[in-house]
Amino acid sequence: MNEALNSIDTALLEQIADMKGGQAPGAVNIRKDSGCASRITTDDVDIRSKTDKPGIDIFIRAGARKAVCHIPVIITRSGLTETVYNDFYIGEGAECTIIAGCGIHNCGEDESRHDGVHTFHIEKGARVTYVEKHYGEGDGGGKKNMNPQTVAYLAEGAFLKMDTSQIKGIDSTKRDTRIVCGPGAETVVTERLQTHGEQVAESNMEIVLDGDGARGRVISRSVAQERSRQVFYPKMTGNAKCFGHVQCDSIIMDDARISSIPAIVANSTEAELIHEAAIGKIAGDQLLKLQTLGLTREEAEERILKGFLA
């Protein structure tokens, strides 16, 4: 534990968790190549290693205010594959920000893969912001793959803001997300995804509004370039007097393929559910306007895509 980080490690940590020099405020757990490189606990955040399987348990003290926890994962060994289980226990009335993310640096010829299973237990009135970024790099022929699973249970009046993004460099990803909201609970999930080359991405998401007054919103934005493929299955299920909204917007380029298949399921006459989906190319007038300001076509496209995914 607390082993020295090299320049590759710190660069990955800055990309996926905004940790400059490998440092961050609050509680920290850095997982590197299936081991613990650093761990810091605080009065509000207790981090413990699991004894029965790989992973950690994170406990946020009830009533904590503005607690912060960084739990990034970095893989720098070609051929390393792992499945990790992290469980979060958010005490009643707590407020916290959890910054996760995984970065893979693969310069070898074998697959490097991280499968993360995250389960949240969010108690009454607690408010959680969860940020997760995925990034891959390295000039080897080995694949850089990630398969995150997230399950969250929100008690009465709890709130979860979940912001996930795939920056670049991930060859294959399958995302599975399921969030269950109790009475008066609310979740807002924003997913950003960009693929290129031969990359493949699949996202399966279900928000279950299980109590009166529950609210859910899904915002999905993606860009598919070159020959990459994307498939989205967002689903909003209403089991009570609730409100849910699913919005999927995608930009398709080159020879890419995108399937966006939103679904809404009402099991109560009091459920109010909405879904929207749109796939299209970059508007020609947007490109022309930026090019008249002196940008090349490539520069104009990059600026438009950056703004779309922001």
How far is Cα 283 from Cα 251, in angstroms, rounded to an integer?
Answer: 10
Answer whether residue 1 shows pLDDT above 60. Answer: no
Rounded mean pLDDT, 130-159: 96
The pLDDT of residue 305 is 87
User: What DSSP designation does 14 have?
Assistant: H
How far is Cα 279 from Cα 244, in angstroms, rounded to an integer?
Answer: 21
Convert the pLDDT of each residue in 254-274 to its tens digit: 999 999 999 999 999 999 999
How far is Cα 167 from Cα 153, in angstroms, rounded to an integer?
Answer: 27
The pLDDT of residue 83 is 98
Contact 64, 96 (CB under 8 A): yes
Answer whether residue 2 shows pLDDT above 70. Answer: no
To 10 degrees, the CA torsion angle through 261, 128, 14, 40? -140
Rounded mean pLDDT, 178-186: 98
The pLDDT of residue 250 is 95
Contact 112, 144 (CB under 8 A): yes
How far is Cα 119 from Cα 50, in angstroms, rounded to an integer?
Answer: 14
The pLDDT of residue 76 is 96
CA triplet 183, 185, 188: central angle to 5 degrees? 145
The pLDDT of residue 86 is 98
Answer whether residue 302 shows pLDDT above 90. Answer: no
Convert the pLDDT of each residue in 55-96 to its tens digit: 999 999 999 999 999 999 999 999 999 999 999 999 999 999
Contact 296, 268 (CB under 8 A): no
Rounded mean pLDDT, 32-52: 97
pLDDT > 70 fraction of the chain, expressed in percent and rounded: 99
The pLDDT of residue 227 is 97
Rounded mean pLDDT, 215-229: 96
Convert the pLDDT of each residue in 114-134 to its tens digit: 999 999 999 999 999 999 999
Banded pLDDT at 300 (limits 50, 70, 90) = confident
Rounded mean pLDDT, 173-192: 97
The pLDDT of residue 3 is 59
- The residue ranges of every structural domain in the chain are 7-283
The pLDDT of residue 270 is 98
Q: What is the mean pLDDT of the chain?
A: 95
